[in-house]
Amino acid sequence: MLNPLRTVQLFLPVKIFSRGIFMNFELSEEHEMVRDVVRKFARSDLAPVAERMDRDDYFPEDMFRKLGSIGMLGITVPTEYDGAGLDYISQTVCLEEIARVSPAFALSVGAHSNLCLDNLYRNGNREQRDAYVPGLATGKLIGCLGLTEPESGSDSLAMRTTATRKGDDYVLSGSKTFITNAPVADICLAYAKTRPDLKNRGISAFVVESSFAGFRKGKKFDKMGMRGSPTGEIYFDDCSVRGGNLLGGENAGVSIVMSGLNVERSVLAGISLGIQTEVLELAIRYAKNRKQFGTPISEFEMIQEKIATMWVDREASRLLIYSALDTLQKGRGRNREAAAAIMYAAEASTRSSLEAIQIMGGNGYMREFNVERLMRDAKLLEIGAGTTEIRKLIIAREALNELN
Ligand SMILES: Cc1cc2nc3c(=O)[nH]c(=O)nc-3n(C[C@H](O)[C@H](O)[C@H](O)COP(=O)(O)OP(=O)(O)OC[C@H]3O[C@@H](n4cnc5c(N)ncnc54)[C@H](O)[C@@H]3O)c2cc1C
């Protein structure tokens, strides 16, 4: 089957890779082509199941796996590995468009395609790439990233999971929690301490197959939002992992975590941006049609103030996200830009979805109008991929260090 996202790359590769985005952060023609492809999928295939995903905490696994055929799962992976060969801006646009319809589905796509697959591709050697990247890019395999543990969330590097060398192989012991896609995952990119005595510097990354002896899936969580994106626990009960599945060398874990964080934060912020665009449009449409006191409520200045604030929040988020991605792609990204992008966009998406509910009055509070679902989904982005507080610490630290 023709892979539409790969087709975008085939026709316009030079522009995408050499030009980045314009100074005013209008996205390029190529990125808008990606948006069109993803929007078509989201509106035609995903929209009909979005409400069921939330109501029944249902993950449409077949649909997810099929995304590989239109290039969405391996969007940043080169075409020789069955990816679409596009950039991080394209990946963000992709999540933005999916999130307008189902932030939960976007979260699962982001965890698979960025946190697991892109990370594995960037840090894997030839054998590891050959073994796992095509399967993950085509949807034959579903991936997750296992960093968080019951005792180490924000302080993630204080993990307790260990990996002990046994001959050429490793034995992993410990557990991971709150892992997106864990209940359905075939592959987990997992972090464990190979040298607990070295603390943060003794962490390594492993590609662990769910079929490996000692890999056990724990409970699936019942969440307030992002329902339909399966979140669960993983246990490593003396799990044997081949030495060849060590990613990036022994004790290279911290640099692998750190190398992916800015990309992960900026790309996942696209979910918050998508939510903001959707609730803004829903609120505007509603306000124009709903009449009270004989006039559309959009004529009331207090409603207009809300619309204005939502619009400014959305635009500020968009500029922060795409400017962070642009500098990252040019190799100049700093931690605070990515942290600021997701911090602002995540808080703004919660704010805007609450305002959209207010604009829609009683209807906003009803499930059938969708904004309450988007509000519950929005809140996650203030917690996952590092909390708002941790993001503020990062921003403040760099700002303080800049001026002596
Ligand atoms: C739906 C969902 C999906 C997730 N998916 C994944 C995944 O795929 N892979 C993965 O590895 N993890 C995942 N996570 C875990 C997520 O990254 C953690 O929940 C997050 O990092 C926060 O950790 P915690 O929940 O343990 O909170 P804690 O670290 O216990 O934080 C509790 C509170 O204390 C604050 N706090 C902590 N330290 C400080 C400090 N130094 N200064 C000020 N305030 C502080 C926090 O900001 C927060 O408000 C997911 C979580 C959820 C809810």
Average confidence (pLDDT) over 273-289: 98
Structural domain boundaries enclosing 347 = 254-402
CATH number at residue 291: 1.20.140.10
Closest ligand 1 atom, residue 111 Cα: 8
Q: pLDDT tens digits, residue range 1-43?
A: 556 676 665 444 333 333 444 455 788 999 999 999 999 999 9
Domain boundary among 107, 141, 175: 141
Closest ligand 1 atom, residue 387 Cα: 47
- The confidence score (pLDDT) of residue 21 equals 46
Same domain, 43 and 128: yes
- The confidence score (pLDDT) of residue 349 equals 98
Same domain, 262 and 181: no
The 10 Å Cβ neighbour count of residue 289 is: 10
| Among candidate residues 327, 156, 174, the one with its CA nearest the CA of residue 238 | 174
Average confidence (pLDDT) over 277-291: 98
- The confidence score (pLDDT) of residue 16 equals 37
pLDDT > 90? residue 60: yes
Cα 155 to ligand 1 centroid, rounded to whole Å: 8
Domain boundary among 209, 231, 251: 251
- The confidence score (pLDDT) of residue 17 equals 38
Domain boundary among 251, 284, 305: 251
What's the CA gap between 126 and 260, in Å, rounded?
19
Same domain, 129 and 205: no
The answer to whether 337 and 323 have CB atoms below 8 angstroms apart is: yes
Pocket test for ligand 1, best of 377, 387, 397 (most atoms within 8 A of CB): 387
- The confidence score (pLDDT) of residue 161 equals 98
Same domain, 263 and 380: yes
Same domain, 271 and 339: yes
Same domain, 125 and 220: no
Same domain, 349 and 210: no
- The confidence score (pLDDT) of residue 8 equals 63
Cα 288 to ligand 1 centroid, rounded to whole Å: 39
Q: pLDDT tens digits, residue range 69-124?
A: 889 999 999 999 999 999 999 999 999 999 999 999 999 999 999 999 999 999 99
The answer to whether 109 and 143 have CB atoms below 8 angstroms apart is: no
Q: What is the DSSP letter of 331?
A: T
CATH number at residue 176: 2.40.110.10
Q: pLDDT tens digits, residue range 287-334?
A: 999 999 999 999 999 999 999 999 999 999 999 999 999 999 888 878
Same domain, 384 and 267: yes
Cα 202 to ligand 1 centroid, rounded to whole Å: 22
Residues with CB under 6 A from ligand 1: 111, 144-148, 153-154, 178-180, 223, 226, 231, 380, 383-387, 389-390, 393
**Phi and psi at residue 192, in whole multiples of 5°?**
-150, 160
- The confidence score (pLDDT) of residue 42 equals 96
Same domain, 48 and 76: yes
The pTM score is 0.95
Pocket test for ligand 1, best of 219, 256, 376, 383 (most atoms within 8 A of CB): 383
Beta strands in 286-379 (DSSP E): 291-292, 295-296
Same domain, 18 and 59: yes
Cα 390 to ligand 1 centroid, rounded to whole Å: 9
The CA R_g of the chain, rounded to the nearest whole Å, is: 21
- The confidence score (pLDDT) of residue 403 equals 86
Instruction: Name the 3-class secondary structure at 211.
Output: coil
The answer to whether 140 and 209 have CB atoms below 8 angstroms apart is: no
Same domain, 45 and 116: yes
The answer to whether 121 and 77 have CB atoms below 8 angstroms apart is: yes
What's the CA gap between 235 and 117, in Å, rounded?
21
Instruction: Name the 3-class secondary structure at 386.
Output: coil
- The confidence score (pLDDT) of residue 9 equals 57
Catalytic annotation, residues: 264
Q: pLDDT tens digits, residue range 359-396?
A: 999 999 999 999 999 999 999 999 999 999 999 999 99
| HSE of 317, CA atoms in CB hemisphere, 13 A | 31
Count how many domains the chain has.
3
What's the CA gap between 104 and 42, in Å, rounded?
12
Q: pLDDT tens digits, residue range 112-169?
A: 999 999 999 999 999 999 999 999 999 999 999 999 999 999 999 999 999 999 999 9
pLDDT > 90? residue 52: yes
Residue 260: which region, alpha, beta or left (left: phi > 0; alpha: psi -120 to 50)?
alpha
CATH number at residue 22: 1.10.540.10
- The confidence score (pLDDT) of residue 248 equals 95
| Among candidate residues 291, 265, 288, the one with its CA nearest the CA of residue 346 | 265
The pair of three-digit structure tokens given for residue 255, joined into one six-digit string: 């640099």
Atom 44, ligand 1: residue with shortest CA distance: 389
Please give the span between the terminal C-alpha atoms of the chain, in angstroms, as a whole number. Answer: 58
Same domain, 152 and 22: no
Q: pLDDT tens digits, residue range 197-247?
A: 999 999 999 999 999 999 999 999 999 999 999 999 999 999 999 999 999
